[in-house]
Amino acid sequence: MSSFTPPSAPPRPRPEGRAPFAVQMRGFWDRVTEGLELNQLWSQFKSDAKSSYRLYSKDFPSDRKRQDWRHNFFHTLQEFAWAILEKLTPARRILLLLGVVLLIFPGGGFSFHGKNGDVQVVEFDLHFYGGLVLLLLLMLEIADRVVMKRDLQIARDIQGWLLPATPPDVPGGSFAFATRPANTVAGDYYDVFARPGQAPGETQFIIAVADVAGKSIPAALLMATFQASLKTLSATPSSLPELVAGMNRYACSNSQSGLRFTTAVLAEFDPSSRRLTYVNAGHNAPILRRASGAIERLDVGGVPFGIQAEHAYESASVILEPGDWLVIFTDGLVEAVNDGDEEYDEPRLLNVLAASSMVTPDQLLRRVMTDVDAFVGTTPQHDDITCLMMKVG
């Protein structure tokens, strides 16, 4: 006898355009993670956690010491919880507390007698409703974050228009500059632009680096006013000390009685004589590295802008020679910290400068920023970083 084996059913055709489930899940995961690996996600989580802890912990006192460590622990936990609550509106505080309470209580129920005399039991799980309340709160916070992120992105674009995209052509010198905000927008400012000289037909160049006290939106707004006042005053015939005095008076009118001050280095470069005249208004002293390797600090000036309206600023001049380097930076560069809470500091900057004195300003600037990144690692950036470099040709 011959046996008959029915033919196996043909594979069900996959609808056109449908990818396998594994491929779909992979695409979903890539979209959620933006292609980041697990170690990169973990580093990002640690960075976000540190930033969030700093945000909340700065609002409660950390100097209260207790003999009983358990009392100190619970007191710190209580202060931390209040710091989180105070970041929310009163209505959302109620939602958060309600959601937490519903998650803590396991549930409940009740019984009653039906029409037929039998006992009816009704049970409910409060965890589910607690999760719904917290989900609602999360959606409200995300909506606020999306609106704020959109507004900050617009502010960042506008701020980008205020800063030069590329260095200008300056006879006798080549420039490079870069800025890296700690948040979406920054309070640092830099610029190099031409202005009419004192003599007819003469052209000089203003070199400016400034750091507004604070970060984010308030500092960015004051940075915009600083840029506008500098461009306006620079267009009028005046010496550098007169320009600085005008900048200080304008800053004092917008500094909230000195609370929003601005440190700055303003310099004027004369290409024909290679003379650099400068005023340091409470800023980190720029580094002038001579071609011989000698280091000079440009520290003559006065207090930051916005503190004393009639403060008399001093100016000083240096003659730049071919092969000299001028490095102007904000404190965010040298005060960048790593996981061990160590600062990058100026000696490391000087070491990079000494090892790369024969390269172009663009190359040296990249090396400095790369060295800072390697030093900092995954530690969140806590301040804006700006650096301007000039090599005398």
How do residues 253-283 score in pLDDT, each as one tens digit? 877 776 789 999 999 999 999 999 999 999 9
pLDDT of residue 67 exceeding 50: no
What's the pLDDT tens digit per position in 292-317? 999 999 999 999 999 999 999 999 99
At 1, is the pLDDT very low, low, confident or very high (cuts 50, 70, 90)? very low
Q: What are phi and psi of 318, to 5 degrees?
A: -135, 150
What pLDDT, on a 0 to 100 scale, did the predictor assign at position 230? 95
What's the pLDDT tens digit per position in 47-58? 777 767 666 666
- The two tokens of residue 234 are 């620079």
Strand 262-270 with 325-329, pairing: unpaired
Q: What are phi and psi of 94, to 5 degrees?
A: -65, -40
pLDDT of residue 65 exceeding 50: no
Select the more confidently predicted residue: 338 or 159.
338
**Model-level pTM?**
0.71
Distance CA 137, CA 131 (A): 10
CA angle 289, 295, 298 (to 5 degrees): 85
pLDDT of residue 167 exceeding 60: yes
267 - beta bridge partners? 207, 278
CA angle 256, 262, 267 (to 5 degrees): 145
At 29, is the pLDDT very low, low, confident or very high (cuts 50, 70, 90)? confident
Strand 316-319 with 287-289, pairing: unpaired
What pLDDT, on a 0 to 100 scale, did the predictor assign at position 113? 66
Number of C-beta neighbours around residue 342 at 10 A: 12
Q: Does domain 167-392 have CATH number 3.40.50.1100?
A: no
In whole numbers, what is the pLDDT of the chain averaged over residues? Answer: 84
Number of C-beta neighbours around residue 154 at 10 A: 12
Helix (H) or strand (E) holding 266: strand 262-270
In Å, how far from its chain's centre is CA 282?
A: 22
Distance CA 359, CA 134 (A): 56
